[in-house]
Amino acid sequence: MTEHELTTAVKNFYNDLAINTNLVSVVNKNQLSQKYNELISQLHPEIMKRYYGSGFFIPEKLGGLKVLDMGCGSGSLVYILSKLVGKDGFVNGVDITPNLILEPKKHSNYHKELWGYTEANFEFKVCNIEQFDDLGFKEQEFDVIVCNGVICVCPDQEIVFKNANRLLKDGGEFCLSDVYADRPRPAEAMADSKLFSLGTTGSMLIEELNRLCELGGFSKPYLKGAAPVEFKNMEIHESVNKVQLACAEWRLFKMPPGARRSAAEVTYNGNIFGFEDTFNWDVTTEFKTGQPVTVDVELASILYTTRFRDSFNFKDINAPVTTPRFQNPYTYLDELRTRGGEVEYAYTI
């Protein structure tokens, strides 16, 4: 199928789902703070019936910021973000699926009043995230961009990364939650539009993610969380080379030119809403309030040149430092199982 045919198939697939609501994605509650879970529980039930994401990745420290949700679906994350940015911030949600965009528009007043706003600080538009030019967004307009379960159903994934970089301010964060694969799938499987729409054939290998991050002008990704995808349809599983899929959340940053500092001993001051005692940067690095942590050049540079700067005190270190990190969600999930941790499926095919 051509890229245009795949895009049309995805649009039609999720247009139908918006009406039938016969696909369920699990909310990754065990990965979220209590305060974030409380916000999700307050969303209108019709919005959550149409949540088809690959796991909520809710950025921290958003007060007064401008945020873009690329592929917002029924608007669940937009409404959470609209609460977190406050009345002085703004959230734009865009999605290719007209029927899904209709749903959050129906419940705009509900959420505006729920959060205590006199005016809406959010807006929804129909748009293909591979083609942003028609919406009139300016370069470097957004502080944070989120993208949840969308790139795996985009035929031109490279342009999505480039668009995100173009629209982000220097020091901005790209919060990426998507479906990833542990092996290539047969070329003939790409001809099945339903398989592509479910993210089984368009999902990236981790090596491809790293390549697109570099090509798109982003830092290396930091793994925030992961959950496996369950296959119950064995015929589908055979047709895609028995691939193992995982939903994973990543932090990426658009670093300002020349932004680089020494490794450092950093101490978190506890000023981030919902993370007053502990701030989990990724699945391996945890910052406890008042306790110094040694971080490498890359992470020290990110913390120092982004919105997180005033949440940390910095003490330079001249010795070589390597911050431990997982770059593979499958390895991370295997370790979780070994430790007896809770591993819940993100969704079932």
Output the tens digit of pLDDT for each of the chain's 349 residues. Answer: 555 565 665 555 554 554 455 455 555 666 677 888 888 888 888 877 766 655 678 899 999 999 999 988 888 899 999 999 999 999 999 988 888 788 888 889 999 999 999 999 999 998 888 887 778 899 999 999 999 988 988 889 999 999 999 999 999 999 999 999 999 998 888 778 778 777 788 899 999 999 999 999 999 999 999 999 999 999 999 999 999 999 999 999 999 988 888 999 999 999 999 899 999 999 999 999 999 999 999 999 999 999 999 999 999 998 889 998 878 999 999 998 998 877 888 888 8
Q: Which is it for strands 90-95 and 168-181: parallel, antiparallel or unpaired? A: unpaired
Q: pLDDT value at position 144?
A: 99
> Which H/E stretch holds residue 64?
none
User: Beta-carbon neighbour count of residue 121 at 10 Å?
Assistant: 18
User: Beta-carbon neighbour count of residue 135 at 10 Å?
Assistant: 13
**293 closest CA partner among 262, 270, 249, 263:** 263
Q: Residues 6 or more apart from 227 whose CB is under 8 A from it?
A: 26, 28, 31, 55, 246, 247, 248, 333, 343, 344, 345, 346
| Burial tier of 342 (Cβ tally within 10 Å: 0-12, 13-18, 19+) | exposed
Cβ contact 102:126 at 8 Å: no
Q: pLDDT value at position 183?
A: 93
Residue written as token pair 């349809």: 233
How far, CA to CA in Å, does 275 sit from each of 279, 285, 340? Answer: 5, 14, 25
Distance separating alpha carbons of residues 57 and 20, to the nearest angstrom: 26
Cβ contact 239:186 at 8 Å: yes
Report the residue count for the chain: 349
Residue written as token pair 């065990």: 30
Cα of first residue to Cα of last residue in the chain, in angstroms, is 22
**DSSP-assigned letter for residue 236:** H
Q: pLDDT value at position 18?
A: 47
* Residues paired with 295 in a beta bridge: 264
Secondary structure of residue 159 in the 3-state scheme: helix
Q: pLDDT value at position 57?
A: 81
Under CATH, which number does the domain 264-316 receive? 3.40.5.100
Cβ contact 64:89 at 8 Å: yes
Cβ contact 323:298 at 8 Å: yes
Distance separating alpha carbons of residues 75 and 65, to the nearest angstrom: 18
Give domain limits for the chain.
3-253, 264-316
Q: pLDDT value at position 10?
A: 54
Q: pLDDT value at position 346?
A: 82
Q: Give CA torsion, residues 157, 348, 175, 273, to 10 deg.
A: 170
pTM of the model: 0.90
Under CATH, which number does the domain 3-253 receive? 3.40.50.150
Cβ contact 57:176 at 8 Å: yes
